[in-house]
Amino acid sequence: MSVVLDRYLWSVEEYERLGETGFFDEDDRVELIRGDILTMSPVGDRHIGRVNALTELLRDKLGKTVVLAIQNPIRLNKASEPQPDISILKRRADFYGKQKAGPQDIWLLIELSDSTLEFDKQVKIPMYAESEVAEVWIVDLKFGVVSQYGEPFAGQYRHVANARKGESITTRNVLKLTLTADEILGEE
């Protein structure tokens, strides 16, 4: 005898209502991925330090021409509201206080990975490509590689490149932001 379990997939609206009603504690680290509410991995010290350092570096390079959102949710579609480590968003007067950023608002998403690399590559990258997020960087803190994904087409990224220490990477959009892998990865 086999047992069939039904799985309930949440919508963004239901997920946000759960948050508004206090279902989640403010310290809960969860995100909605393809209708599933997933617990996010704990953030280690190196991860925190790199997010802080990159935020400062990006603010120095880009000034106030963009909105830098740090670990804030973005609404990709009706079933996914992930929280990338850093979102570089188009400047908007309300600073996204009236409506969350969507794919059309995003210049670049940056995901830092120390223990989540496979999840980021196998789940988040395809999800971002399907939603037509223009560009995503995955910063692999463990192996010292910055992977660039761009040109979403038919649910995949046509452009994929890697940068290691001593190499640089440039966004493929109007920002034309160039950073070295050394600046992104920091000290080991």
Q: What is the pLDDT of residues 108-142, one digit of tens each?
A: 999 999 888 999 999 999 999 999 999 999 999 99
92 in any annotated domain: yes
pLDDT score for 1: 63
Output the pTM of the full model.
0.93
pLDDT score for 41: 84
pLDDT score for 25: 85
**Average confidence score pLDDT of the chain:** 93
4 in any annotated domain: no
Strand segments (E) across the chain: 30-33, 36-39, 66-70, 86-90, 106-113, 135-140, 145-153, 156-164, 168-170, 178-180
Low pLDDT (below 50) residues in the chain: none
Which CATH number characterizes residue 104's domain? 3.90.1570.10
93 in any annotated domain: yes
pLDDT score for 154: 94
- The parent domain of residue 147 ranges over 41-185
